[in-house]
Amino acid sequence: MDSKGVAAPAVPEVALQSGNARPMPAVGMGTAAFPMVHENTKNAVLAAIEVGYRHLDTASLYRTEKPVGEAVAEAVRRGLVQSREEVFVTSKLWGSQCHPDLVLPSLRESLQNLQMDYVDLYLVHWPVCLKPGPPKVPNKREDALPFNFEGVWRAMEECQRLGLAKAIGVSNFTTKHLEKILAVATIPPAVNQVELNPVWQQRTLRAYCDAKGIRVAAYSPLGGQNWDGTGNAVLESPVLAEIAKARGKTVAQVSLRWIYEQGVTSIVKSYNKERLKQNLEIFDWELTEEDRLKISQITQKKIIQVESLFTPEGEFTNLQMEYVDLYLIHWPVCLKPGPLGFPNKREDALPFDFEGVWRAMEECQRLGLARAIGVSNFATKHLKKVLAVATIPPAVDQVELNPVWQQRTLRDYCAAKGIRVAAYSPLGGQNWDGQGNSVLESPVLAEIAKARGKTVAQELDDAAAASAVVFASRYVQEPLPRYELGRKSISKDAAYQIIHDELLLDSSPRLNLASFVTTWMEPECDKLILEGINKNYADMDEYPNRCVNIIARLFNAPLSAGETAVGVGTVGSSEAIMLAGLAFKRRWQNRRKAAGKPHDKPNIVTGANVQVCWEKFARYFEVELKEVKLREGCYVMDPDEAVQMVDENTICVAAILGSTLTGEFEDVKRLNNLLAIKNMRTGWDTPIHVDAASGGFIAPFLYPELEWDFRLPLVKSINVSGHKYGLVYAGVGWVVWRNKEDLPEELIFHINYLGADQPTFTLNFSKGTQIIAQYYQFLRLGFEGYRNVMENCMESARILREGLERTGRFTVISKERGVPLVAFTFKGRDTALAFRLSAALRRFGWIVPAYTMPANLEHMAVLRVVVREDFGRTMAERFLSNVQMVLDELDDEAKGGPVPRMRFTIELGPPARGAGEEASVKVVKRESVVAVHRSVSLAGGKTKGVC
């Protein structure tokens, strides 16, 4: 109600299709006023809230955030609204803040001004980037910079993930700007706020936004004024005046009603309380079809033009070039700052900061100023230093290269690392003194050129054509189809470069701490993979057989000296588990049929911590999955409970050697002993399968005394992932059986169309060169090498675990004996912190999964860091440093949060003697206010697929 007790009109609301903001009221109050007078703005906002506005629009440029925040707080105190949550608040990011590293700090500054924990909507004010500085208008042309659409939007998405903005969007964006955002967005913009009214109707833009699920909001709905205060073609429109007179309405009401009927939100500015009230009186009547037709025929005129920054088309004109296709470090040499030139004095040479310089190069690419980055004149030792710290590897190494200086070693190294080599001085280099050209003067090249009827240079051009460095932008100007086959071919160089450039946008695999999958192998193995990439190892079973025999003996299979092991290579552990499960099911069915018993209800017993592929097996092959629930302090399958769940229909019990959730080894020996007793008592023959996907290549080397494998008589099959701690790239797994009797013969197929009789038992027929990579690792590392790698991984995990414990903020729930990973939770019950930490670490490039535990432990939110071979001490220390930085930020938010953390109940009494007219105040109640974190529960979802 307003101050006179009159009920404020109900303003319709619309749910945004992106983000998690409350529904947005259809009319909002704008606060752009130049010059801004603090008290006037505050009073106007209070008046707006009093008459029914629940949508307030501000911006860092307007400098109205503080009075808006004060007005909302005052409205809560007066009881005009019950809480800040009743008010939808929008703020905006100005062009001088449109830099990826400034977005989040700018929003934090806005929240500080507003004295709020979050804004409901945060918009990029214009598709304009300016030199960093205070928001202002007008701006100089030379202050304009290229707009890094991807980098800025990634930072905007981070604002939403952190909960500082409930939804994000843009303002003054045309369709072409929106296309650039949508091409890179994982969270699409919820709103596009643009100039829109009957005199500038934006039909094309509205149709585009509607198709993309973007809500359009209209500023200047009553006619825009330019920065100089001129122009208002809406309120002066004779067409609108005629309609208003006929309907008994104001021109402003006609314009606002028309905008509402177009499905657009109005942001209308008025500091007059009566007009504010009138502007809300538009929801209980409609325009006629004749009115709408007349309005559609109004001559269109755009008012808002930021001439100091834009041409009429909205693009910058002051820069000759917005980016370079490739930016290289010229030499691995650092000199004292000064003008460019050579030669240089030896005393000017400084140590080269490979990490610092490369980090700055990566920032150039992230900002879009360089489409790719690389080096020049770097030897392999220099490249190794860069690759050791790079999150974006160099695309190119430009070096002197020609027939007289062929750089074979460097070329091989670059090929293995995916670095393109570019040759300068291909026709022969000259030293700085102008002397020497042994290429054009080469008698060998002259002889070849003469025989071919070419010049020496032409021969070199022909030879170099296949390896010329190109960028796709030179060859492909039209957009290429993504989801259908193109009509025309493009050059091989352009195709390569397009895909290569897209791959550069992926996160660095080495910083993905969620994955167990190997991300690094030695260059020699990379070379073998490339050499064998055109071979199908389904028709060359020698190498798989060697690997199967090595693994079976590693797992202590009961094999005689010359006996061949039973097993098969697979695409990964998922296929391996499917095959093992099928063997158990068929073996169980055969026994049941022979005994004349029902065989249509098989089940399998596992812990609730199993990987999702077990659930897939059960569903695909119609086997009931009986899960042992986890409990506090016990995050793996309890063998006692598992054996209790076994019945005559149980085809096997699956034990996990290295839980996906915590890395812990399950007690397979106790499971074997308990199950053996039950089998003896019941006459059943329930076997065990060990899912050693993660731990199979760890336990034999670090814990050889641990009995978990074929040393236990009930263990009939084991699967292991070659692409985890088998140290091979993604795409290889293994399953081995105890002996031939454990793999029913009817599941094995025999083929001879590849030249010889071959038994086969796989779901996937073809196999790639990962088989060769696995054999290389077995041959190269041996027992000693694998043990050294695993010991190093465990040492890195120890450093990580102790560093996390030193913060005093975490409880580590993973065991020291198990897979080299660290699983940890925040102390206390605030599960939201885990997800906030996970999201914040992405700013540094780290991917750390946060997940809730399975049934019975859903209240636990866990973070997990997998330690692989390429995660050494240096990376662990850097990771811990980044974690501490994020924790400090979270602490700052908690300590300096703008919303009060205490609620006081006060009692007002008569003025104390000598206090004039001031009432006496007595605090009668004080209580803590606990912030509520809003999150969305996953209905029926499972977290055990984390890997």
Report how far residue 118's alpha carbon sits from residue 111's, in angstroms, rounded to the nearest whole number: 6
Question: End of a domain among 895, 916, 934?
Answer: 895
* 135-152: average pLDDT: 87
Residue pLDDT, tens place only, 336-388: 887 776 678 888 889 999 998 998 898 888 777 888 899 999 999 999 999 99
CA distances from 520 to 76, 524, 658 (A): 57, 12, 21
Contacts of 182 (CB under 8 A, 6+ apart): 188, 189, 212
Least confident of 59-73, 501-515, 593-607, 634-648: 501-515
The better pLDDT of the pair 316, 342 is held by 342
Contacts of 913 (CB under 8 A, 6+ apart): none
Q: Is the pLDDT of residue 915 over 50?
A: no
pLDDT category of residue 892 using cuts at 50, 70 and 90? confident
User: Quick one: pLDDT at residue 926?
Assistant: 61
User: Quick one: pLDDT at residue 900?
Assistant: 45
pLDDT category of residue 757 using cuts at 50, 70 and 90? low
Q: In this structure, are residues 132 and 99 in contact, taking their beta carbons and an 8 Å threshold?
A: yes
Instruction: Classify the C-alpha dihedral 466-472-473-479 as positive or negative.
Output: positive
Task: State whether 302 and 366 are in the same domain.
Answer: no
Question: Which regions of 285-367 does DSSP assign to beta strands (E)?
Answer: 327-329, 334-335, 349-350
Q: Is the pLDDT of residue 218 over 90?
A: yes
Contacts of 737 (CB under 8 A, 6+ apart): 566, 567, 580, 583, 716, 717, 743
DSSP string, 630-686: PBTTB-S--HHHHHHH--TTEEEEEEEBS-TTT-BBP-HHHHHHHHHHHHHHH----
Q: Is the pLDDT of residue 717 over 50?
A: yes
Query: Cβ–Cβ contacts within 10 Å for residue 898, how many?
Result: 14
Task: Pick the catalytic residue from 53, 62, 208, 776.
Answer: 62
User: Quick one: pLDDT at residue 466?
Assistant: 36
Report how far residue 466's alpha carbon sits from residue 447's, in angstroms, rounded to the nearest whole number: 22
User: Quick one: pLDDT at residue 946?
Assistant: 37
- Look up the domain containing 361 and give its range: 320-338+345-426
Go through 758-790 and write b for each residue having 16 or more CB atoms within 10 A of its CB, e for each that does not.
eeebbeeeebbbbbbbbbbbbeebeeeebbebb
Report how far residue 79's alpha carbon sits from residue 115's, in angstroms, rounded to the nearest whole number: 18
* 698-723: average pLDDT: 97
Residue 367, classified by CB atoms within 10 Å of its CB into exposed (0-12), middle (13-18) or buried (19+), is buried
Residue 493: inside a domain:
no
DSSP string, 404-469: TB--HHHHHHHHHHTPEEEEESTT----TTS---TTTT-HHHHHHHHHHT--HHHHHHHHHGGG--
Q: Is the pLDDT of residue 947 over 90?
A: no
pLDDT category of residue 119 using cuts at 50, 70 and 90? very high
β-pairing verdict for 215-219 and 191-195: parallel
Q: Is the pLDDT of residue 697 over 90?
A: yes
Task: Pick the catalytic residue from 42, 57, 66, 413.
Answer: 57
Task: State whether 99 and 176 are in the same domain.
Answer: yes
For residue 692, give the CATH number of its domain. Answer: 3.40.640.10
Task: State whether 743 and 846 are in the same domain.
Answer: no
Instruction: Name the residue type at position 143.
Output: D
Show the tokens assigned to 537.
């190892």
Q: How many domains does the chain have?
A: 4
Task: Pick the catalytic residue from 125, 689, 724, 767.
Answer: 125
Show the tokens assigned to 778.
């077995």
CA distances from 887 to 328, 646, 840 (A): 36, 46, 10
Residue 775: inside a domain:
no
Angle between helices 573-594 and 612-620 (to 10 degrees): 40
User: Quick one: pLDDT at residue 460?
Assistant: 55
Instruction: Classify the C-alpha dihedral 109-110-115-116 as positive or negative.
Output: negative
- Write the Ramachandran bin of 538: left for phi over 0, alpha for psi from -120 to 50, otherwise beta: alpha
DSSP string, 534-560: T--TTS-THHHHHHHHHHHHHTT----
Question: In the annotation, is 62 catalytic?
Answer: yes
Provide, rounded to the nearest whole percent, the portion of the chain with pLDDT above 90.
Answer: 59
Q: In this structure, are residues 156 and 102 in contact, taking their beta carbons and an 8 Å threshold?
A: no
DSSP helix, strand, coil percent of the chain (3-state; round to 5): 35, 15, 45
DSSP string, 732-767: -EEEEESSGGGS-GGG-EEE-TTSS-EEE--S----
User: Quick one: pLDDT at residue 918?
Assistant: 47
Residue 922: inside a domain:
no
* 582-593: average pLDDT: 96
> If we measure between CA atoms, which residue out of 112, 90, 122 comes closest to residue 892?
112
Specify the residue for token string 């605030």.
Answer: 830
Task: State whether 617 and 691 are in the same domain.
Answer: yes
Residue pLDDT, tens place only, 469-515: 434 444 455 567 777 888 888 777 778 877 877 776 666 788 899 99
pLDDT category of residue 465 using cuts at 50, 70 and 90? very low
Report how far residue 768's alpha carbon sits from residue 729's, in angstroms, rounded to the nearest whole number: 11
User: Quick one: pLDDT at residue 507?
Assistant: 67
Mean pLDDT: which of 204-208, 433-437, 544-548 is highest?
Answer: 204-208
Residue pLDDT, tens place only, 22-55: 999 999 999 987 677 888 999 999 999 999 999 9
Q: Is the pLDDT of residue 593 over 60?
A: yes
Report how far residue 403's alpha carbon sits from residue 398's, in angstroms, rounded to the nearest whole number: 16
Task: Pick the catalytic residue from 42, 55, 66, 92.
Answer: 92
User: Quick one: pLDDT at residue 558?
Assistant: 95
Q: Is the pLDDT of residue 895 over 90?
A: no
User: Quick one: pLDDT at residue 733?
Assistant: 94
User: Quick one: pLDDT at residue 383?
Assistant: 96
Q: In this structure, are residues 181 and 173 in contact, taking their beta carbons and an 8 Å threshold?
A: yes
Task: State whether 97 and 209 are in the same domain.
Answer: yes
Question: In the annotation, is 92 catalytic?
Answer: yes
Report how far residue 53's alpha carbon sits from residue 862's, in angstroms, rounded to the nearest whole number: 42
> If we measure between CA atoms, which residue out of 808, 605, 564, 591 comes closest to residue 688?
605
Question: In the annotation, is 593 catalytic?
Answer: no
Residue 181: inside a domain:
yes
Query: Is residue 861 classed as helix, strand or coil in its secondary structure?
Result: strand
pLDDT category of residue 305 using cuts at 50, 70 and 90? low
Query: Cβ–Cβ contacts within 10 Å for residue 523, how many?
Result: 13
Task: State whether 580 and 651 are in the same domain.
Answer: yes
Provide, rounded to the nearest whole percent, the portion of the chain with pLDDT above 70.
Answer: 84
Least confident of 469-473, 607-611, 805-809: 469-473
- Write the Ramachandran bin of 916: left for phi over 0, alpha for psi from -120 to 50, otherwise beta: left
Least confident of 130-139, 428-437, 477-486, 685-694: 428-437
Residue 179: inside a domain:
yes
Question: End of a domain among 703, 729, 764?
Answer: 764
pLDDT category of residue 715 using cuts at 50, 70 and 90? very high
Least confident of 663-667, 746-750, 844-848: 746-750
Report how far residue 826's alpha carbon sits from residue 836's, in angstroms, rounded to the nearest whole number: 11
Task: State whether 329 and 352 are in the same domain.
Answer: yes
User: Quick one: pLDDT at residue 442?
Assistant: 80
Q: How many CA atoms lie within 13 A of 629 on its CB side?
A: 6
User: Quick one: pLDDT at residue 905?
Assistant: 61
pLDDT category of residue 749 using cuts at 50, 70 and 90? confident
Residue 868: inside a domain:
yes
User: Quick one: pLDDT at residue 321?
Assistant: 60
- Helix ranges (H only) for 185-288 are 203-212, 238-247, 251-261, 273-279
Residue pLDDT, tens place only, 249-297: 999 999 999 999 999 999 999 889 999 999 999 999 999 999 999 999 8
* 237-246: average pLDDT: 93
> If we measure between CA atoms, which residue out of 190, 172, 201, 221 comes closest to residue 30?
221
Report how far residue 628's alpha carbon sits from residue 855's, in angstroms, rounded to the nearest whole number: 10
Q: Is the pLDDT of residue 644 over 90?
A: yes
* pTM score above 0.95: no
Task: State whether 240 and 357 are in the same domain.
Answer: no
Q: Is the pLDDT of residue 751 over 80?
A: no
* 194-200: average pLDDT: 93
* 130-151: average pLDDT: 87
Residue 485: inside a domain:
no
Report how far residue 49's alpha carbon sits from residue 54's, in angstroms, rounded to the nearest whole number: 6
Contacts of 279 (CB under 8 A, 6+ apart): 27, 252, 253, 256, 268, 270
User: Quick one: pLDDT at residue 538?
Assistant: 59
CA-derived radius of gyration, the chain? 35
Please provide the average confidence, as pLDDT, over all residues in the chain: 85
pLDDT category of residue 945 using cuts at 50, 70 and 90? very low
Query: Cβ–Cβ contacts within 10 Å for residue 182, how many?
Result: 14
Contacts of 885 (CB under 8 A, 6+ apart): none
Question: End of a domain among 851, 872, 895?
Answer: 895
Q: Is the pLDDT of residue 835 over 80?
A: yes
Query: Cβ–Cβ contacts within 10 Å for residue 330, how many?
Result: 10
Task: State whether 665 and 754 are in the same domain.
Answer: yes
Task: State whether 183 and 74 are in the same domain.
Answer: yes
For residue 822, give the CATH number of its domain. Answer: 3.90.1150.160
Residue pLDDT, tens place only, 844-879: 889 999 999 988 888 899 999 999 998 888 889 889
Q: How many CA atoms lie within 13 A of 933 on its CB side?
A: 15
Q: In this structure, are residues 471 and 498 in contact, taking their beta carbons and an 8 Å threshold?
A: no
Q: In this structure, are residues 651 and 642 in contact, taking their beta carbons and an 8 Å threshold?
A: no
Show the tokens assigned to 211.
């198709």
| CA 873-875-878 angle, 5° bins | 110
Specify the residue for token string 């000017």.
Answer: 348
User: Quick one: pLDDT at residue 346?
Assistant: 85
Q: Is the pLDDT of residue 705 over 80?
A: yes
Residue 625, classified by CB atoms within 10 Å of its CB into exposed (0-12), middle (13-18) or buried (19+), is middle
Mean pLDDT: which of 93-107, 218-232, 341-355 is highest?
Answer: 93-107
* 831-842: average pLDDT: 90
Task: State whether 748 and 803 are in the same domain.
Answer: no
* 716-742: average pLDDT: 95
Residue 463: inside a domain:
no
Task: State whether 186 and 155 are in the same domain.
Answer: yes
* 765-794: average pLDDT: 91
The better pLDDT of the pair 399, 926 is held by 399
For residue 210, give the CATH number of its domain. Answer: 3.20.20.100
The better pLDDT of the pair 428, 524 is held by 524
Least confident of 131-140, 407-416, 788-797: 131-140
